[in-house]
Chains A and B, each alone.
Chain A
Amino acid sequence: MVYENPDGVMIGLEIHVQLNKLATKLFCGCSTDYHTSEPNTHVCPVCMGLPGCLPVLNKRAVEYAIRIGLALNCEIVEQTQFHRKNYYYPDLPKGFQTTQYDYPIVSDGRVVIEGEDGEHVVRIRRAHMEEDPGRLMHMGSIEKSKGTLIDYNRSGMALIEIVSEPDMRSPREARRFLDKLRNILEYLDVFDSTLEGSMRVDANISIGGGDRTEVKNISSHKGAERALLYEIMRQKNIKRRGEKVVMETRHFDEARGVTISMRTKEEEHDYRYFPEPDLVPMRVGSWVEGILETLPELPDARRSRFISDYGMVDTHAKALTSDIRVADFYEEVASQVDPAAAAVWVSDVLKGELNYRDLNIASFTVEDMVKIIELVLSGKITEKGAVEIIRNILDEGGSPMDIVKEKGLLKVEGDVVDQAVEEVLKENPDALEDYFAGKEKSLNFLVGQVMKKTRGRADARSVREMMLEEIDKNYR
């Protein structure tokens, strides 16, 4: 199957990733652990841009940038340097942002995603380091606000801006790329995606070779997909009317699901880039090899290993590795019980129940999962009972054994089932007749009656087998 891309959609993404797992900011020693703090409590003269302050580059941030570059199959530049990007905004305390311009630390990489027609390569143009500005809090809406408060806690946080080529052909591919990227970054242990503002997306989009628009500051992957869907529709409508799409910057209104024009190209800034004189150019040299050696196993490699080591199907391997925490959880479970059963229980059942409740894997313990799988495998509870335990733990808490006792989930003994089968056959001669007349469905009805009598504690498959045996023996 080849994806034709009927509308000629081209999507390129710029993703700002906050390196929030660093202990300190990009150019000063301020703590990065500000997310639950009072405004303007994690600041110093440097990140406040007070007169006379000078930046000192965080070495660990450079290391993280190189890790990211290596994971995205990029080239790492031999010598890197910082530039000043000059513009005025109250959240930017120095009146310029220290960023990288013509020598980004990494460039020319690639990421493989699941595209519309199988594996699809998205090229990475570059990834560079820069500092985050502060945050503005408008009192009321941005247009009508009587005052604006500024929180500089975020000012100076290290960001990596990853820029893709316009290789994505649908909003779905864009979302998959973002998911894959987050996945890789989490494996690298360079950021925590659960913190606010940890990943912010600008999307460039054009259709049919026309001018592109840029949608700025999208805060979620789902939002990116929605913004792109809207933007494609909007651009198609413009073309349908015989008009031309103009190059401009747009804002995504999350609440209404629409994009709004912010500025057209005429108003684009001249950033007057020039080399940051307070930071000397830096050679990375042999440092890269050292970092390469410490690179962890990445999602694609782990997926292949899951298939080869645990013999699971690809869909399970994919589901289990798409979040490093789930993958770690699975491997811990698999080290204690049958890995094949664990794959099914974790990927099909547990993940489904978690998604339904919008919870993450941290809401469940490896210990409980192991216990539940053991109970099923030893035949003490039914699969249905196991699902009930999982739901109970998620909704009300408790331990598997307590729930088993409390709800009487232990599987009933064989003779009770035998007896139930006999009773059901006696009580339902009409259904039996129907079965003999060729209605396969009536057998399901009979099995269901047995399940009802045993209050679900019997195994449906074996009930069916016993039922057929009994019919053969006594009713033919």
Chain B
Amino acid sequence: MLDGLSDIKNKMGSSSAEEVVASYLEKIEKSDINAFTCIAEDAIDQAKKVDSLNIEGPLAGVPIAIKDNISTKGLSTTCSSAILDGYVPPYDAHVIERLRKAGAVIIGKSNMDEFGMGTSTETSTYGPTLNPWDSERVAGGSSGGSAAAVAAGQVPVSLGSDTGGSVRCPAAFCGAVGLKPTYGAVSRYGLVSYANSLEQIGPLANRVEDVAALMDVIGTYDNRDSTCVKHNAGYTDALQDDVEGLKIGVPAEYFGEGIDDNVQKLVWDAIGKFEDMGAEYTKVSMPNTPYALAAYYIIAMSEASSNLARFDGTRYGNRSEGENWHMMASKTRQEKFGAEVKRRILLGTYALSAGYHDKYYLKALKVRTLVKQDFERAFEDVDVLMAPTMPTPAFKIGEKMDDPLSLYLSDVNTVPINLAGVPSISVPCGFSEGLPVGLQVIGNYFDEATIIKAAHSFEKNTDHHTKLAGEVV
């Protein structure tokens, strides 16, 4: 079993933050799963500062990996894209400010799909992150580096971002815990935008309690993000082992075509476990689920086409030479963006163009409303929804790279959550042919407490999270 935050706290009693951080740095160095895009040169100095100043924040001396699309002052932030190679932000994201204040040591930036666009971390300009359970398989995406680093014990906790499942997917593929908070629960200030109306920063760890602890730190109000909402958090307070009377809804549409039989079985087993623990389940219908995927991709790509316009080589990052500004900007974008990013910019541009705007973008917004209503209706009757996080375990590297549509299809169970803006957590619920499978627990708006409680109870009463990569066959 990998160390969690409580283990690090214990160690800190007898040794120093410097030693703890150094031991993790060593693990990262020895690893060949390509989970990081860069390591913070000052990681040891940060740890020494914790030691010398006796900093006692809730994360004092805890090394943390940060997805490479979250701005870190003085530390390269590239979104795993050649266009931002060499870009060092002059400011910290809200979550980074909070982490530093809590005493955490920003140990490095974790690998991801370029600008968050992908489900496998294969579109990174720095190459794919390998799944710690099987190096021929993907780590999931787009926060693949953040999940793999945690699952391989290179850091106890990390931050990812989730636009259509980007925290939950790699958590499921790597056997980690990943939370996508309610839209507005965590400030996006400093998160390099991919699809603003969908994405949230979310924590990854090997235990539910560590995810909760991280949420207590980052999930605070920030007036620099107009979509950030003031709310009563208390994530750690929600860590109870008690699901007596919990009403679970099981949406039939999340167990449809394309969902691996083994995955379905493991999720139903998990639901059975909840029954044993005193919860009850009913089948619910979310009739607009089949349209969610299409709506999601239109909205995400539309927003992305606008967000990525600023990367033109003029002010920061990397540029190509051209005889005038138009040529310079055009060549920069042509040469420095990867294929998937260009595909999404073009599709998004198309969807927003005059003549197509109503047919695609506006229609997608209408579907979004319907999807949202599905959730609102469901939560009138149940406390949480449960479903597979991903339709299959981690697939092989390269398997879906030439077939973007099949790759997009693997997001089928995660994207409706982002369209609606509700919170969702993925916890390990077993193994299929030696690969981890994730159970997705979805909650009502700002009701992270209930899904944390459910996930925590499941973890306490099962042993999936105690397995280490290589142990399971």
Binding site for B on A (CB under 8 A): 45, 48-57, 84, 86, 88, 90, 93-96, 148, 150, 270, 272-274, 277-280
**Nearest Cβ in chain B — how far from A29, in angstroms?**
10
- Note all chain B residues with C-beta closer than 8 A to A279: 226
Nearest neighbor of A49 in chain B, beta-carbon distance = B310
Chain A nearest CB from B316 CB (Å) reads 7
The 23 sampled A-B contact pairs (Cβ below 8 Å) are A51-B87, A51-B311, A51-B316, A52-B69, A54-B189, A54-B224, A54-B226, A56-B225, A56-B226, A57-B226, A86-B306, A86-B352, A93-B310, A148-B325, A270-B353, A270-B354, A272-B305, A272-B352, A274-B357, A277-B197, A278-B188, A278-B225, A278-B227
Cα–Cα distance between A279 and B196 once the two chains are bound (Å) = 10
In chain B, positions 183-204 with a C-beta closer than 8 Å to chain A are 188-193, 195-197
A50 B316 Cβ-Cβ under 8 A: yes
Note all chain B residues with C-beta closer than 8 A to A93. 310, 315
In the bound complex, CA of A55 to CA of B226 (Å) = 7
B309 contacts partner chain A, Cβ-Cβ < 8 Å: yes
Min CB gap A279→B, angstroms: 5
A417 vs chain B, min Cβ distance (A): 77
Q: Find the residue from A49, A53, A280 having the highest chain B CB count within 10 A.
A: A53
Considering the complex of A and B, which 6 residue pairs feature the smallest CB-CB distances, nearest first? A95-B309, A277-B197, A272-B352, A277-B196, A51-B192, A52-B71
Chain B residue contacts of A54, Cβ below 8 A: 188-189, 224-226
A150 CB contacts on chain B under 8 angstroms: 314
Residue of A45, A52, A270, A272 near B306 (CB, 8 A) is A272
Which of A50, A86, A280 lies at the interface centre, i.e. has the most chain B CB atoms within 10 A of its CB?
A: A50
Residue of B nearest to A28 (CB): B224
**A94 partner residues in chain B, CB cutoff 8 A:** 309-310
Residues of B contacting A272 in the complex (Cβ-Cβ under 8 angstroms): 305-306, 349, 352-354, 357
B residues near A (Cβ < 8 Å) are 69-71, 77, 79, 84, 87, 89-91, 93, 188-193, 195-197, 223-227, 302-303, 305-306, 308-312, 314-316, 325, 329, 349, 352-354, 357, 361
| CB closest residue in chain A, given B228 | A54
CB-CB < 8 A to B93: which residues of A? 52
Secondary structure call for the B interface: loop
Q: B302 contacts A51, CB within 8 Å?
A: no
* Also in contact, A56 and B352, with CB within 8 A (given A94-B309, A95-B310): no
How far is B351's CA from A86's CA once the two chains are assembled, in angstroms? 13
Residues on A with beta carbons closer than 8 Å to the beta carbon of B302: 274
Residues of A within 8 A of B227 (CB): 277-278, 280
Tell me the bound Cα distance from A393 to B303 in angstroms: 62
A272 vs B303: C-alpha distance when bound (angstroms): 11
Taking CB atoms, residues of chain A closer than 8 Å to B89 are 45, 50-52
Q: Are B224 and A51 in contact (CB under 8 A)?
A: no
Contact B309 A56 (CB under 8 A): no
Pick the most buried of B195, B224, B349: most chain A CB atoms within 10 A of its CB: B224
Return A90 CB to nearest CB of chain B, in Å. Answer: 5
Contact B361 A274 (CB under 8 A): yes
- By the criterion CB–CB under 8 Å, are B353 and A88 in contact? no
Q: How far is the CB of B418 from chain A (nearest CB, A)?
A: 12
Chain A residues contacting B329 (CB-CB under 8 Å) are: 88, 90
In whole Å, how far is A81's beta carbon from the nearest beta carbon of chain B?
A: 11
Residues in A neighbouring B310, C-beta threshold 8 A: 49, 51, 93-95
The answer to whether B192 and A52 have CB atoms under 8 Å apart is yes
Chain B's nearest CB lies how many Å from the CB of A382?
66
Given contacts A51-B71, A56-B226, A272-B305, 17 further A-B contacts (CB under 8 A): A50-B89, A50-B91, A51-B89, A51-B193, A52-B69, A56-B223, A84-B306, A88-B329, A96-B306, A148-B325, A272-B306, A272-B349, A274-B357, A277-B195, A277-B227, A277-B303, A278-B196
Beyond A45-B90, A51-B310, A90-B314, whether A274 also contacts B188 by CB under 8 A is no
Give min CB distance, B163 to chain A, whole Å.
Answer: 12
Complex: chain B residue closest to A27, CB-CB: B226
Residue in chain B with minimal CB distance to A274: B352
Chain A: CB-nearest residue to B93: A52
Distance (whole angstroms) from the CB of A422 to the closest CB of chain B? 85
Q: Which residues of A contact B353 (CB under 8 A)?
A: 270, 272
Which of B190, B191, B306, B361 lies at the interface centre, i.e. has the most chain A CB atoms within 10 A of its CB? B306
Least Cβ–Cβ distance between B98 and chain A, in angstroms: 15
In the docked arrangement, what's the CA distance between A270 and B87, Å?
A: 31
Tell me, in angstroms, the Cα distance from A55 to B307 when the chains sit together: 13
Chain A hits for B189, CB < 8 A: 52-54
Q: Nearest CB to that of A148 among chain B residues?
A: B325
| Chain B residues within 8 Å of A49, by CB | 310
Chain A residue with Cβ nearest B333 = A88
User: Whole-angstrom distance between the alpha carbons of A93 and B325 in the complex?
Assistant: 14
Question: Nearest Cβ in chain A — how far from B164, in angstroms?
Answer: 15
Residues from chain B with a CB closer than 8 A to the CB of A277 are 195-197, 227, 303
Q: Which residues of the partner chain A approach B226 to less than 8 Å between Cβ atoms?
A: 54-57, 278-280
CB–CB A48/B315 < 8 A: yes
Considering the complex, give the chain A residue whose CB is closest to the CB of B348: A272
With contacts A56-B223, A56-B226 taken as known, whether A95 is within 8 angstroms of B312 at the C-beta atoms is yes
B143 CB, nearest partner CB in chain A, Å: 16
Which residues of the other chain, B, contact A96 by a CB distance below 8 angstroms? Answer: 306, 309
| Chain B contacts for A51, CB-based, 8 A | 71, 77, 79, 84, 87, 89, 192-193, 310-311, 316
The residue in chain A whose Cβ has the minimal distance to the Cβ of B222 is A54
* Across-interface contacts of A278 in B (CB, < 8 A): 188, 193, 196, 225-227
Chain B hits for A50, CB < 8 A: 71, 89-91, 316
Q: When chains A and B are docked, how far (Å) is the Cα of A90 from the Cα of B309?
A: 11
Are A52 and B191 in contact (CB-based, < 8 A)?
yes
In this complex, which of B70, B79, B196, B311 has the most chain A Cβ atoms within 10 angstroms of its Cβ? B196
Chain A's closest residue to B84 (CB) is: A51
B301 CB to closest chain A CB, in angstroms? 12
Which chain A residues lie closer than 8 Å to B308 at the CB level?
Answer: 95
How far apart are the CA atoms of A96 and B349 in the complex, in Å? 13
Complex Cα–Cα for A203 and B79 (A): 44
Residues of A within 8 A of B79 (CB): 51
Q: CA A55 – CA B352 in complex, angstroms?
A: 22
Residues of B contacting A56 with CB < 8 Å? Answer: 223-226
Q: Which of B91, B191, B226, B353: most chain A CB closer than 10 A? A: B226
State how many angstroms separate the Cβ of A185 from the closest Cβ of chain B: 28
Report the separation of the CA atoms of residues A95 and B306 in the bound assembly, to the nearest whole angstrom: 7
Residue of B nearest to A269 (CB): B354
Q: Which residue on A lies nearest to B189, using beta carbons?
A: A54
Decide: A274 and B84 in contact? CB cutoff 8 A: no
Q: State the CA gap A336–B197 with chains docked (Å).
A: 62
CB-CB under 8 A from B84, the residues of chain A are 51
CA distance A54 to B71 in the complex (A): 12
